[in-house]
Structure 1
Amino acid sequence: MKHIRPFSSPVCPSSHWGKLAGYTALLVAVPTLLAGYPAMPLQAATTHHKKAATAHHSTQTAAKTSARENKTRSTHTRKSKMAAEPSVMSDRSVREAQAAVNAAHAQHEAMEQEKARQAAAVAQSRSQNEAAQAAAAEAKNRALSLSAATVSATSQLQSTEQQIADLQDQISDVKKEQASLQAALVQDAHALAPILPLAERLSLYPSDTLLAAPMPQGDAITGFLVLRGLSRQMEQEAEGMRARQARLTALNTTLTNKLAELNQLEQTQTHQRDTVRQQAALAREAQKQASATAISTTHQLQAATQRAASLQDAVSKLDALQAQAESALQKEIAAAERAHEAARAKAARRKMAAMVKTQGPGLAEHPSAGSGLRPVAGTLISTWGSATESGPATGMTYRTPPGASVRAPCAGTVDFAAPFRTYGQMLILNCGRHYRFIMAGLSGLAVDMGQSLTKGAPIGQMGSSRGSGTLFIQLRHGQKTINPAPFL
């Protein structure tokens, strides 16, 4: 009979994977353990061994001594114990192996269930992420569509605002002319007042007036001629006064008509402003939904801008952040290509393209005349490079009508939209390719940081007070100030 050594489990009680390895080894060892046993039952093998031993002892001579019989019985007892010991040990090993197999099966099933749960969680997370990305893309497209829809309404509103501004200038000119005519008529009346009684008497009694005068006849004739010339001059003055009075009456009629036209335009303007405000609010809300994943980035930009000590620092920091992001992506692409990681390089290029696309298309190197748009209604009062108290002007300044709407001079992304130091409400519009418009002096903003805008979309409005507001516009390429006029 082959002696079987009891099986002992691997000693890894504290490690899940150690237990699993031990159970696996045990599964492999069980067939080997069982193969060492004879085909017959263990108990039958033991009985057969006993019978053979008894037959062997019965053939011995009866003459052996009592001591030898005792020795034989002792030997028989020891052999019986040795035959029974493998049976007990093999039963225990089988039970241990079966328990290990059951434990291994249970651990395997638990691991499979955990793997299934993890796979389901990953699939759900991936599905949610894809749905969120799709929703963000859809919201962004909707925001761009709404922004484009506001362009037409804003253009009509700006045209109305410009008509109102021109009409108000015309009304102001009419009122000035009215005042001038009225002053001239008053002056003429004061000049004629002393001679009006004499002129009236001469017109009624010309001969009697001269004959009654105590003067020589020659002087009387001379006086008659003088009075005759004076009468002619008075008639001319009167004719001029009548013409000025007629002009004044016509101006009054013109003023009445223009005031009625102004009232109609102001009503149209109110309706158009409501339309633009509603469309801008929809675009703003859609952009907020699309920009939920970019909140940290926009907050970083806003924090960097708010910490700037001046407008130059603000724009420089924004440009530095953009250049830093682009440099990091370029390094990632180069590293992926050096490591022959096509997928990683492709993903980095996709990020770079998305970042460039989000920023905007940039501005034309050589813009054609009339290719830009007027950002606000009003009058240009200061051009780029004109002399100021602090040196050449670094931008353009418009005097605007009250409440005038302000439009985006390019398509792009809002880098900054908030009050800034002494500039009031300020907006920095990233047109792409390191071109940025800075617009300051607004009373209110209709956009948020990170919002994508189409060219001509509304970005805010000027103050609604009766006094004229001023809008300052500056254009930068990187950190260099350039003339914005060709692009407006």
Structure 2
Amino acid sequence: MQATLAQQRVEAAAKLRAAEDATAAAADRMADLAAQKKKVSDELTARAAAFAPMLPLIERLALFPSETLLAVPAPPRDTLRGLLVLQGLSREIGRQAAELKKEQAQLDDLTAQMKAAAPALAAAEAVQAQQEAALDAEIANASASRQSAEDAATAADQAAAQDAARARTLKDALARIAAARQAALVRAERAARAARRAEEARRAASAEAQEASLSAPTGAGLGTPHGDILAPVAGKLVRGWGDQTLAGPATGVSYATPPGARVISPCGGTVVFGQPFRSYGLLLIVDCGGGYDFVLAGLDRLDVSVGQRLQTGEPVGVMAGWTPRQPNQRPKLYLELRRDGNPVNPTPWLRAQG
């Protein structure tokens, strides 16, 4: 039953991704126009400010050209030189006025383009909202059907996550999670042996079930990279592995997302962490098995809980909304791939975009 519901969520998320791609294209267009408009507007403002001090002189030359030139008595040679200077100034004033007119026309054109692009963005957002409602219904259905009783593996994962939240680094957090799960497995094995020795069948069966659950692989692992993992969110890659940052070369990749985009799990596995962590903000860690963990940061909301088993492509959370007319506020999803706690380049596993 749970597997069927999970598959339905995967399919709903895939359908939503197509709508989000359309929203991303429209939002990118609007954001690009907004950035161009701001640039032209700033240039126009700066040019107008530089032009302002010359306005009194321009007005006087227009009304009293001779008087302006002869205002200060001077030898004929200086008067001639002043005339040449004024001619050059007149040409510069004309050039500046033409540039102002050109930039104003460009600004008006960009404003018109943004107005024309708005209906396409609104239509894409409407389709996305419709698909989001369908996915939310799937998630609500899954939450209602999920057993309220926590098995041993879920309880162990939640305890490990709480301990990991106190870690100073992400690597330390992952190490704490792995150690806590191993410790829980050892306790379950001891409890099962003790129950069998005491010939308490019911307690032994419960302990053995806990042992089996805790010893089960969290995921199937990633295997050899073939570039077949879908990006966890719609949008565009804005920072790649190894790109230079203030903290040094990037150890992950970042995606600029469309408004309210859904985030999916890049692998099948188990949620082992899902809460704010240090400077990462809201952080999600999915244990894919085989020593691999996907780390996702920058989400606005999580739709999964620690201990939950996931299928590849299953929705796990939502990015924040934003206004394409203010592109500098666009949210970004950060993705890391860790193997045995150490960051590795996820690019060979990820499907090429576009």
Q: Could you say whether these structures have the same fold, taking a TM-score greater than 0.5 normalized by the shorter chain as the test?
A: yes
Equivalent in the alignment of 1:454: 311
Equivalent in the alignment of 1:316: 175
Equivalent in the alignment of 1:95: none
* Matching of residue 481 in structure 1 with residue 337 in structure 2: no
* Matching of residue 159 in structure 1 with residue 24 in structure 2: no
Bigger strand share: 2
Judged with a 3 Å threshold, the aligned counterparts in structure 2 of structure 1 residues 226 and 247 are, in CA distance, closer, same or farther, namely: same
* Matching of residue 239 in structure 1 with residue 98 in structure 2: yes
Contact 1:362 1:434 in 2 (8 A): yes
Moved more, 229-238 or 450-459: 229-238
Where 2:222 maps in the other structure, the secondary structure is coil
TM-score, normalisation: structure 1: 0.52
Equivalent in the alignment of 2:8: 146
One-letter amino acid of the structure 2 residue matched with residue 142 of structure 1: T
Q: How does 1:165-184 map to 2 (within 5 A)?
A: 167-184=30-47
Candidates 190, 209, 217, aligned match of 2:53? 190
Unaligned ranges ≥5, structure 2: 190-208, 324-328
Candidates 231, 234, 248, aligned match of 1:373? 231
How far is 1:194 from its partner? 0.6
C-alpha separation in 2, matches of 1:193 and 1:264: 50
One-letter amino acid of the structure 2 residue matched with residue 427 of structure 1: L
C-alpha separation in 2, matches of 1:236 and 1:313: 63
How far is 1:175 from its partner? 1.9
Contact 1:395 1:475 in 2 (8 A): yes
Candidates 269, 283, 286, aligned match of 1:429? 286
Deviations 1:353-409 (A, max 9, x none): x944xx4332132333x64414364664584596665x7765445566664432212
Moved more, 251-260 or 296-305: 251-260
Structure of higher RCO (CA pairs closer than 8 Å, 6+ residues apart): 2
C-alpha separation in 2, matches of 1:219 and 1:172: 49
Equivalent in the alignment of 1:273: 132
Judged with a 3 Å threshold, the aligned counterparts in structure 2 of structure 1 residues 166 and 412 are, in CA distance, closer, same or farther, namely: farther
Where 2:226 maps in the other structure, the secondary structure is coil
C-alpha separation in 1, matches of 2:18 and 2:282: 24
Candidates 155, 159, 162, aligned match of 1:299? 155
C-alpha separation in 2, matches of 1:482 and 1:210: 74
C-alpha separation in 2, matches of 1:363 and 1:380: 24
Judged with a 3 Å threshold, the aligned counterparts in structure 2 of structure 1 residues 274 and 223 are, in CA distance, closer, same or farther, namely: same
Judged with a 3 Å threshold, the aligned counterparts in structure 2 of structure 1 residues 212 and 280 are, in CA distance, closer, same or farther, namely: closer
Equivalent in the alignment of 1:104: none
**Paired positions, count:** 317
One-letter amino acid of the structure 2 residue matched with residue 475 of structure 1: L
Computing the radius of gyration from Cα coordinates, the structure with the larger value is 1
Deviations 1:161-180 (A, max 9, x none): 53325632431331221231
C-alpha separation in 1, matches of 2:68 and 2:281: 77
C-alpha separation in 1, matches of 2:184 and 2:73: 107
Unaligned ranges ≥5, structure 1: 1-138, 330-347
C-alpha separation in 1, matches of 2:162 and 2:73: 94
Judged with a 3 Å threshold, the aligned counterparts in structure 2 of structure 1 residues 217 and 262 are, in CA distance, closer, same or farther, namely: same
C-alpha separation in 1, matches of 2:277 and 2:241: 23
How far is 1:410 from its partner? 1.7
Equivalent in the alignment of 1:56: none
Where 2:103 maps in the other structure, the secondary structure is helix
Contact 1:440 1:471 in 2 (8 A): yes
Contact 1:378 1:401 in 2 (8 A): no
Where 2:283 maps in the other structure, the secondary structure is strand
Equivalent in the alignment of 1:443: 300
How far is 1:460 from its partner? 0.7
Bigger helix share: 1
Q: How does 1:97-136 map to 2 (within 5 A)?
A: none
One-letter amino acid of the structure 2 residue matched with residue 250 of structure 1: D
Judged with a 3 Å threshold, the aligned counterparts in structure 2 of structure 1 residues 192 and 380 are, in CA distance, closer, same or farther, namely: same
C-alpha separation in 1, matches of 2:127 and 2:150: 38
Judged with a 3 Å threshold, the aligned counterparts in structure 2 of structure 1 residues 323 and 365 are, in CA distance, closer, same or farther, namely: farther
Contact 1:405 1:458 in 2 (8 A): yes
Judged with a 3 Å threshold, the aligned counterparts in structure 2 of structure 1 residues 240 and 419 are, in CA distance, closer, same or farther, namely: closer
TM-score, normalisation: structure 2: 0.68
Where 2:9 maps in the other structure, the secondary structure is helix
How far is 1:445 from its partner? 1.2
